[in-house]
């Protein structure tokens, strides 16, 4: 009987161990999905937190302007201010001498744009001023490109007409031998150099235009056109025709329009010469 009691106790202990083991396994199975879920949610949370700063950075826009940025922007803005004004003045002078090369609407737009940039400079908003002046410079270049094309065509046409006229007069002197023909042949010989200089200026202007140096191109075209106008007047058949041509090209022959820059350059050394006696 004692032995039977031991057997029953051992069997009960074994059954208890089986239930305990099964309970432990079931508890592990139920815990694992919770850990996996929490781990997954943790990864998702980390991903969101990692992405959050980039999104905020995108919304924040451009970087903060430093003092060094302002210094550089000021230097560039002041240089562009001077360069743009010089080219605007050249465009206006070209427009007065050859109105068909001048688009008033475009010129007004360029002037207003430049004025806006100037206001920003006075307000010490140099970054905005530099940006506006760069856009302004692009518009100036576009306007100069159009003007250069018109000047090239008109100036080439005038120089070619003068060359043809010279050839005709030269042939008349050889064939007729009249006093008037000989006189005009002397005029042709006298102005051959002027024609050569006109074509040289035309070549320089064309090369500058190809490289988008429109301000330089327009300056050369202006000189070439002046030579063409003077040739046209010199080669006229009589004084009445010369006066008619002078009236036609009055705006281009007017010193205040065409000779303005040359006048300033020639007048520059004068004050220095006058100061010497005063220094005694």
List the structure tokens of 73: 């922007």
Distances (CA, A) of 48 to 36, 55, 197: 18, 10, 74
Sign of CA dihedral 260, 261, 267, 268: positive
List the structure tokens of 109: 């737009």
Instruction: Report helix, strand or coil for 75.
Output: helix
- pLDDT class of 252 with cuts at 50, 70, 90: confident
pLDDT value for 261:
42
DSSP per-residue string spanning 153-210: HHHHHHHHHHHHHHHHHHHHHHHT--HHHHHHHHHHHHHHHHHHHHHHHHHHHHHHHH
Model confidence pLDDT, tens digit, residues 109-140? 999 999 999 999 999 999 999 999 999 999 99
Mean pLDDT, to the nearest integer, of 214-237? 91
Q: How far apart are the first and last CA of the chain?
A: 151
Mean pLDDT, to the nearest integer, of 219-223? 90
Rounded Cα distance, 16 and 9, in Å? 11
* Nearest-10 crossing angle of helices 67-97, 126-175: 30
- pLDDT class of 250 with cuts at 50, 70, 90: confident
φ/ψ bin of 238: left (φ > 0), alpha (ψ from -120 to 50), beta (otherwise): beta
pLDDT value for 125:
94
Mean pLDDT, to the nearest integer, of 256-275? 40
Model confidence pLDDT, tens digit, residues 151-201? 899 999 999 999 999 999 988 888 887 888 888 889 999 999 999 999 999
Element (H, E) at 42: helix 2-60
Element (H, E) at 224: helix 214-234
Please name which of 212, 234, 213 lies closest in space to residue 158, comparing C-alpha atoms.
234
Rounded Cα distance, 261 and 267, in Å? 10
Please name which of 201, 250, 227 lies closest in space to residue 96, comparing C-alpha atoms.
250
pLDDT value for 260:
43
Integer-rounded Cα radius of gyration of the chain: 44
């Amino acid at each position: 009987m004692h032995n039977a009691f031991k057997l029953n106790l051992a069997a009960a202990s074994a059954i208890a161990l089986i239930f305990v083991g099964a309970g432990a396994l079931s508890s592990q199975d139920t815990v694992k999905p919770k850990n996996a879920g929490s781990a997954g949610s943790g990864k998702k949370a980390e991903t969101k937190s990692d992405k959050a700063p980039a999104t905020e950075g995108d919304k924040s826009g451009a970087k903060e302007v430093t003092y060094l940025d302002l210094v550089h922007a000021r230097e560039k803005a002041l240089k562009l201010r001077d360069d743009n004004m010089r080219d605007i003045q050249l465009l206006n002078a070209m427009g007065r001498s050859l109105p068909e090369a001048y688009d008033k609407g475009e010129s007004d737009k360029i002037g207003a744009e430049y004025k806006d940039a100037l206001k920003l400079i006075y307000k010490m908003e140099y970054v905005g001023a530099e940006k506006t002046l760069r856009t302004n410079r692009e518009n100036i270049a576009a306007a100069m490109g159009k003007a250069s094309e018109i000047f090239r065509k008109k100036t080439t046409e005038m120089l070619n007409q003068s060359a043809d006229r010279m050839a005709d007069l030269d042939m008349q002197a050889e064939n007729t031998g009249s006093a008037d023909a000989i006189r005009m042949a002397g005029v042709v010989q006298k102005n051959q150099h002027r024609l050569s200089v006109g074509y040289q200026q035309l070549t320089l202007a064309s090369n500058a235009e190809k490289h988008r140096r429109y301000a330089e191109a327009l300056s050369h075209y202006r000189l070439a056109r002046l030579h063409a106008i003077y040739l046209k007047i010199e080669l006229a058949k009589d004084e009445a025709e010369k006066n008619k041509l002078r009236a036609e090209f009055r705006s281009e022959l007017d010193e205040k329009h065409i000779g303005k820059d040359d006048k300033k350059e020639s007048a520059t050394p004068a004050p220095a010469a006058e100061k010497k006696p005063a220094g005694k």
